[in-house]
């Protein structure tokens, strides 16, 4: 390759883009990585990592507040957001430093600037370091431009009273009260953080339940837990408008009998999902097949253009960092001719890191019954009340299994503090098409929450021990 020409040219250095770059370089390919911001993208800097740091600080606050339950004399004097933000930013900085070192060590060329697709295998970059534009080419082009926080028509985000998740991560104080517009993952996680920090929180969700993509039992369990924590939950409540007031915001929603009601708070968090960052990047102009801003790609992340791939949040499906990460690896191996196995979208783990956590993989009960028929689906629910470690942690919840009758487990659904750490074994069970009888004999260490997975599979295999009928 000559200067400006690469085996693989990647537009975007988020989870999907940098994973593709690292794996491609590992396989001996020359790589150009275009990024207008920082390596790591949304997940590292304004998404997964900083949000989970806030959630851990919230867990510490809850444990301090409830320390007497454990025989520990401690008092929660308050939340110092300066200190919380310093802790959060240090976590991000350490990971960013490590990623930067990895990229440099693999010989990857990082091109700093705003890029747009200007040819089938060509990206033109307006440099953020030097004036002017430069055009780069790749034998293969990978589109990995990520996503942005959506809003709603007529809802003007100002970053002070009306926030996106990016603004929420930079707050220097805990709001007295917050309305969270959207009961999905982002909304539930921030609602959980702010409630732990002492704010009054109200969630507004137009659909009938929180986390609508999860199993209905998980959604109901989270809603009960939130109400117990004094988080107000208003489902089946469409948003109408918002007005900025002297004291904060007045949020107007549909009320009973098609009327209107108002909820007042200091701030409104807009958490209605994320959209694909593709506008103005030249994709459609160069002939890339699109649908409502998303780039269409097949199971191997190939677009309709030869030698052009797309990964991450710009591809329809779950908008999860680990999905994009694995897609990036798949594309690098596909380019190198390794013929990797396509990713089963249902086999991608899903976690909401609220208090309590919600984790799942595979099909929920409704989807399984649609796919296989009511008579061909069996479920079992194991209550964490019978799990020793869960009692030590003083958490409540369950493990719910869904399987084809006389067949493999097709869904695992869990609710409870720290159950996200169990998703590793759960995704192996689903992706390796394990039967309950395969998992039941496995030895799970005692006392761990991991035992709950083992006990649930014992029950599904017809030999329950710590499970009540």
Catalytic residues, by residue number, are 446
- C-alpha distances out from residue 120 to 9, 290, 295, 430, Å: 11, 15, 15, 38
What is the rounded CA–CA span in Å between residue 196 and residue 404? Answer: 40
What is the rounded CA–CA span in Å between residue 237 and residue 6? Answer: 51
Task: Dig out the tokens for 191 from the structure.
Answer: 């609602």
Q: With both helix axes pointing from N to C terminus, report the angle between 15-26 and 321-335 in degrees, rounded to the nearest 10.
A: 30
- What are the φ/ψ torsions at residue 320 (nearest 5 degrees)? -130, 140
Which is nearest to 378 in space by CA: 411, 351, 418? 411
Q: 445: Cβ–Cβ under 8 A, 6 or more apart, which residues?
A: 451
C-beta of residue 363 within 8 angstroms of C-beta of residue 378:
no
Distance of CA 391 to the CA centre of its chain: 28
- DSSP assigned state of 314: G
Which is nearest to 352 in space by CA: 452, 172, 200, 213? 213
What is the rounded CA–CA span in Å between residue 90 and residue 87? Answer: 5
Element spanning 16, H or E:
helix 15-26
Q: Characterise 397 by phi-psi region: left (phi > 0), alpha (psi -120 to 50), beta (else).
A: left
C-beta of residue 42 within 8 angstroms of C-beta of residue 63:
no
């Amino acid at each position: 390759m000559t200067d400006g020409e690469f085996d693989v040219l990647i537009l975007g250095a988020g989870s999907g883009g940098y994973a593709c770059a690292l794996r491609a370089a590992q396989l001996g390919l020359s790589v150009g990585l275009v990024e207008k911001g920082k390596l790591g993208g949304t997940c590292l800097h304004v998404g997964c990592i900083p949000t989970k740091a806030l959630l851990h600080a919230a867990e510490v606050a809850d444990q301090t507040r409830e320390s007497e339950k454990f025989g520990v004399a401690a008092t929660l004097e308050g939340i110092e957001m300066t200190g919380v933000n310093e802790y959060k930013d240090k976590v991000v900085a350490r990971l960013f430093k490590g990623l930067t070192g990895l990229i440099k060590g693999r010989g990857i060329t990082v091109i700093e600037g705003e890029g747009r697709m200007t040819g089938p295998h060509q990206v033109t970059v307006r440099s953020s370091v030097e004036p002017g534009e430069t055009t780069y080419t790749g034998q293969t082009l990978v589109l990995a431009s990520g996503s942005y926080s959506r809003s709603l028509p007529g809802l003007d985000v100002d970053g002070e009273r009306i926030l996106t998740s990016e603004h929420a991560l930079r707050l220097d104080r805990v709001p007295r009260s917050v309305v969270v517009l959207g009961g999905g993952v982002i909304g539930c996680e921030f609602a959980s953080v702010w409630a732990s920090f002492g704010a009054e929180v109200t969630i507004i969700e137009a659909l009938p339940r929180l986390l609508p993509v999860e199993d209905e039992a998980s959604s109901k369990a989270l809603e009960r837990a939130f109400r117990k924590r004094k988080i107000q939950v208003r489902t089946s409540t469409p948003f109408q408008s918002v007005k900025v007031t002297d004291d904060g915001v007045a949020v107007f929603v549909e009320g009973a009998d098609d009327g209107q009601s108002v909820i007042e708070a200091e701030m409104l968090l807009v958490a209605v999902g994320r959209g694909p960052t593709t506008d103005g990047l030249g994709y459609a102009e160069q002939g890339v097949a699109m649908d409502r801003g998303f780039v269409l790609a097949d199971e191997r992340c190939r677009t309709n253009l030869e030698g052009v791939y797309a990964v991450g949040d710009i591809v329809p499906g779950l908008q999860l960092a680990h999905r994009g990460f694995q897609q990036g690896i798949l594309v690098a191996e596909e380019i190198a001719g390794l013929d990797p196995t396509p990713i089963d979208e249902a086999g991608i783990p899903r976690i909401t890191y609220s208090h309590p956590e919600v984790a799942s993989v595979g099909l929920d009960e409704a989807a399984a019954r649609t796919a296989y028929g009511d008579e061909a689906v069996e479920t079992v629910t194991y209550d964490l009340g019978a799990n020793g470690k869960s009692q030590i942690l003083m958490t409540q919840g369950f493990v719910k299994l869904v399987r084809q009758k006389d067949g493999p487990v097709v869904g695992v659904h869990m609710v409870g503090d720290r159950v996200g750490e169990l998703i590793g074994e759960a995704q192996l069970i689903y992706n390796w098409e394990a039967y309950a009888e395969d998992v039941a004999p496995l030895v799970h260490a005692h006392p761990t929450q991991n035992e709950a997975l083992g006990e649930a599979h014992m029950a599904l295999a017809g030999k329950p021990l710590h499970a009540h009928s």
